[in-house]
Amino acid sequence: MSWKLEYVFLIAASTLLDYLCALQMAKKQTKPERKPYLIASVIGNLGMLFAFKYFNFFSSCFSGPVLNVILPVGISFYTFQTLSYSIDVYRGKMKPETHLGRFALYVSFFPQLVAGPIERASRLLPQFKLEHDWNAVRARDGLVLMLWGLFRKVVVADNIALFVNSVFETDKEFGGLSILLAAYIFTFQVYLDFAAYSEIARGAAKVMGYDLMINFKRPYHATSLTDLWQRWHISLMTWLRDYIYVPMTSSKDSKWKKSRNLLLVFFLSGLWHGASWTFIVWGLLHGIFLVIENLTKTIRAQIYDHFFTTSSRLRFFIKNTITITILSVVGLFFRASSLDQGFSMLLRVFDFTTYRFDFGVQNYKLLIFCILVMALILIIEAVEERLSWEAMFLQSSLVFRWTIYSLMIMACFAFIAIKSQPFVYFQF
Amino acid sequence: MMKNTITKSLSFLLLFLFLSFFVSALYSNSQKQQDHSIADVKKLPKLKTLIMGDSQCLRGIDPRVFDSAFNYASTGESIIVSYYKLKDLLETRTDIDQIVLTSTLGYFGESKSDYISKPYLWKEMIDFQEIAQIKNKHRLYLYKFLKTYFFAYKGMREEFFERHFADVPEEIPYYKGFRPKPTGYYLDVSQIADKQFKDKKLFDESLLIYLNMFLELAQKHGIQVTMVRMPVSQRYHDKVMSYITEDKLAERCLELKKKFADFVFLDYLNIYWGQEEEVLFDDTHLNEEAALSFSRLLVDSLPINHKSGAASAFFSFYAIKVESI
């Protein structure tokens, strides 16, 4: 992902296209009359996305020509955002925005332009119409969110990445145990990295008086894959659900048709993340596991009910461990530089004869750090499932809160990487 | 409302700076305790030869071949830091009669111009205000001052994690300031030449001002200064020369000789070309064995010969544990 001045024209073109298409759709009474404008919007946005993100991938699959382009900043996010607007206007769910400046602000709103959350026009546009006076409490809340995001990114995610990088860059030297640990830690790194960006974006918007949607809801406490995808990258998953899965699926459909649609959605989710076979396999594997989970729902419930009560902590632990393990092991493909690397690492995870303590003396300290911070964050989130840290924290004394803020800022200074470490989702 | 917000913000800033100053001081002191050289150089019963410079000096000159010497070099040290360290030391020591000051390719170059490595170690010695005035860079040195006193811990992650990714043993034996690098490696670090020399000047005039100040200070205290250009690999040299057209250090040193008659310049830049694998730890640092033989060569070439009785003996630092003076 990169930035060139010319790419302003791309975002401007996408903005103008959807702005005009929506205005035209509003003039038409029926869906068939609105359809040509919707098609124009879809072709325009997806065409742009295809040209800059996917053309080289598909072309190289057929040994075709390659375009000399780099992925424009935020293109996957703002094209989906504008598409959702056009589709909502087409469906008659919202009226078009007549003010071009306001609509352009919706498309290019800086806190979430680069890596989301993918906001819906029905949520964000009305907020732009309100007047926002200075509000110290809101600004403080926004800054605290930004600080928490920065802390999770700089202090935790970037440092646990050191262990992950060392394993993935020289994976041939490692056995299954190190790879499994690296897979768990990598998925946690992606979660913290992306959740941190979303918090910084939400915080920055909040300081200015705008509310962005929550993108992650403690996904490490999910007890099934279905539960997981309702907690992880919520803005993308709800987008795929509302604009792809739901229109294709009705409650009367057979479970096989629903499964096919689910597979398609996760295939597209993989493709959205990147134009590479590794992402496609990552998406498809998640789709397959979700289909299996749906098809075995009844029998699994019976087994759990036979051994555990509904409120059993062991039941939660087993279900949670299975979910996170699937997420992490499939995540190998998300991080792998090629399919070969992904499959080779996956095979070693299941080859228990390769299991040994081979992460090297230099990685021990990092590994202990990773385990400690992961445990700490998971405990914090576990408590948060029951009560609000935020409320408790805000009730504490001012000196205590300020000391904690100061220590968090100092930790960011202390642990900041010398080389810049961009957010993982900036590449999408 | 707004007044209240501003008051609260300023109060928070004060609390933050107070805590940050405290943590910074704690971190600086913990680092100083790990680095014995400042305390040790002042405790020495006798000191005739002071060895100063950057990591090439720290790793490359063995004080045990001298009679009463101390290697007071530090990694990344520039002539600015060397000057203030010398100034501080001469306030208490009067027995030094010669200084070996090492110079490397780029030691007076633009990349070193405003670089102060680990300033928190030398913060009591460095006069930030004076540097700012000499260089006419007041904002930059105010920033460096604040960073040194309030944010010394910035980037400590490197100490905490990244050192553990080194390919070679990291525990470095310590003897009279000398920290040799092990024998048996020849790491390719020639790409650092890009950072040091690409689009950069070979001589920064403000650093030459500090060299003058250094020599004046030494002259005032009756100390003879020898500048030693340390050996590097041919591939590193060639890479550097692809960026700079002329190497005029010797010429500049001859100019200095007009003002400081007893100033000596010894150039060992290319003495190990062709045998890099045996003598170098990486492109710019000697290994332990070579440091010993190089120091023996050097001690015989200096204008004041303070050769120790042990100069011809064999000793290996990697065979012994950390040793204090």
Residue A262's pLDDT band, with cuts at 50, 70 and 90, is very high
Domain housing A64: 7-129
Nearest by CB to B157, which of A134, A363, A415?
A: A415
Beta strands in B145-259 (DSSP E): 224-229
Residue B322 pLDDT > 50, yes or no?
A: no
- A416 and B157 within 8 Å at the Cβ level: the answer is yes
Q: Are residues A75 and A217 in the same domain?
A: no
Q: Are residues A36 and A157 in the same domain?
A: no
**Residue A384 burial by Cβ neighbours in a 10 Å radius (0-12, 13-18, 19+):** middle
The residue from A109, A129, A149 where one domain ends is A129
Q: Are residues A333 and A413 in the same domain?
A: yes
Query: Mean per-residue pLDDT for B133-142?
Result: 93
For residue A407, the model assigns a pLDDT of 93
- B16 and A366 within 8 Å at the Cβ level: the answer is no
Q: Are residues A88 and A191 in the same domain?
A: no
Residue B129 pLDDT > 50, yes or no?
A: yes
Q: Are residues A210 and A342 in the same domain?
A: yes
Nearest by CB to B5, which of A136, A362, A406?
A: A136
Nearest by CB to A136, which of B1, B12, B154?
A: B1
Query: Mean per-residue pLDDT for B109-114?
Result: 85
ipTM of the complex: 0.73
Contacts of A404 in chain B (CB under 8 A): none
> Higher-confidence residue: A428 or A134?
A134
- A406 and B1 within 8 Å at the Cβ level: the answer is no
Chains A–B, number of C-beta pairs less than 8 Å apart: 60
Query: Mean per-residue pLDDT for B165-175?
Result: 58
Mean pLDDT of chain B: 84
Does residue B171 sit at the A interface (CB-CB below 8 Å)? no
Q: Give chain B's length.
A: 325
In a domain, A283, yes or no: yes
Show the tokens assigned to B156.
């400590």
Distance from CA of A278 to the nearest CA of B (A): 28
CA angle (A389 as vertex; A109, A187 as ends), nearest 5: 65
The residue from A82, A111, A129 where one domain ends is A129
Residue B325 pLDDT > 70, yes or no?
A: no
Does residue B245 sit at the A interface (CB-CB below 8 Å)? no
Query: Mean per-residue pLDDT for A33-62?
Result: 88
Closest chain A residue by Cα to residue B164? A362
Contacts of B162 in chain A (CB under 8 A): 162
Q: Which of A95-99, A303-307, B27-31, B114-118 has the lowest mean pLDDT?
A: B27-31
Q: Report the domain count for chain A.
A: 2
Residue B316's pLDDT band, with cuts at 50, 70 and 90, is very low
pLDDT, tens digit, 9 for 90 and up, residues B222-257:
999 999 999 999 999 888 888 876 667 777 777 888
Residue B318's pLDDT band, with cuts at 50, 70 and 90, is very low
Long-range own/partner contacts, residues A414-419 (CB < 8 A, 24 or more apart): A414/B153, A414/B154, A414/B155, A414/B156, A414/B157, A415/A154, A415/A155, A415/A158, A415/A159, A415/B156, A415/B157, A415/B160, A416/A154, A416/A158, A416/B154, A416/B155, A416/B157, A417/A154, A417/A158, A417/B157, A418/B155, A418/B158
pLDDT, tens digit, 9 for 90 and up, residues B115-126:
888 888 888 899
For residue A395, the model assigns a pLDDT of 83
For residue B37, the model assigns a pLDDT of 77
Residue A198 pLDDT > 70, yes or no?
A: yes
For residue A372, the model assigns a pLDDT of 87
Top residue of B1, B20, B22, B161 to mutate, by most chain A CBs within 10 Å, is B161
Q: Are residues A56 and A171 in the same domain?
A: no
Of A99, A132, A221, A273, which one is the catalytic site residue? A273
Query: Mean per-residue pLDDT for A283-312?
Result: 91
In a domain, A2, yes or no: no
The residue from A103, A129, A155 where one domain ends is A129
In a domain, A385, yes or no: yes
pLDDT, tens digit, 9 for 90 and up, residues B260-304:
888 888 989 889 998 889 999 999 999 988 999 999 999 888 888
Confirm whether A233 is a catalytic residue.
no
- B2 and A134 within 8 Å at the Cβ level: the answer is yes
Domains of chain B as residue ranges with CATH: 45-117+169-319 (3.40.50.1110)
> Higher-confidence residue: B140 or B306?
B140
For residue A49, the model assigns a pLDDT of 87
For residue B165, the model assigns a pLDDT of 47
Residue A300 pLDDT > 50, yes or no?
A: yes
Does residue B165 sit at the A interface (CB-CB below 8 Å)? yes
Q: Are A336 and A282 in contact (CB under 8 A)?
A: no
pLDDT, tens digit, 9 for 90 and up, residues A354-364:
888 777 656 77
- B19 and A410 within 8 Å at the Cβ level: the answer is yes
Distance from CA of A369 to the nearest CA of B (A): 10
Top residue of A134, A154, A173, A362 to mutate, by most chain B CBs within 10 Å, is A362
> Higher-confidence residue: B241 or B211?
B211
Distance from CA of B99 to the nearest CA of A (A): 35
Please give the radius of gyration of chain A, using alpha carbons only, rounded to the nearest integer.
Answer: 23
Query: Mean per-residue pLDDT for B20-26?
Result: 91
pLDDT, tens digit, 9 for 90 and up, residues A141-155:
899 999 999 999 988
The separation between the first and the last C-alpha atoms of chain B, rounded to the nearest angstrom, is: 63
Residue B162's pLDDT band, with cuts at 50, 70 and 90, is low
Q: Are residues A95 and A142 in the same domain?
A: no
Distance from CA of B155 to the nearest CA of A (A): 5
Q: Are residues A187 and A98 in the same domain?
A: no
Residue B189's pLDDT band, with cuts at 50, 70 and 90, is confident
Q: Are residues A198 and A302 in the same domain?
A: yes
Does residue B184 sit at the A interface (CB-CB below 8 Å)? no
> Higher-confidence residue: B257 or A220?
A220
For residue A216, the model assigns a pLDDT of 92
For residue B312, the model assigns a pLDDT of 52
Distance from CA of A142 to the nearest CA of B (A): 14
For residue B320, the model assigns a pLDDT of 40
Q: Are residues A294 and A202 in the same domain?
A: yes
Q: Are residues A164 and A199 in the same domain?
A: yes
For residue B171, the model assigns a pLDDT of 55
Q: Are residues A58 and A160 in the same domain?
A: no
Distance CA B65, CA B308 (A): 5
In a domain, A1, yes or no: no
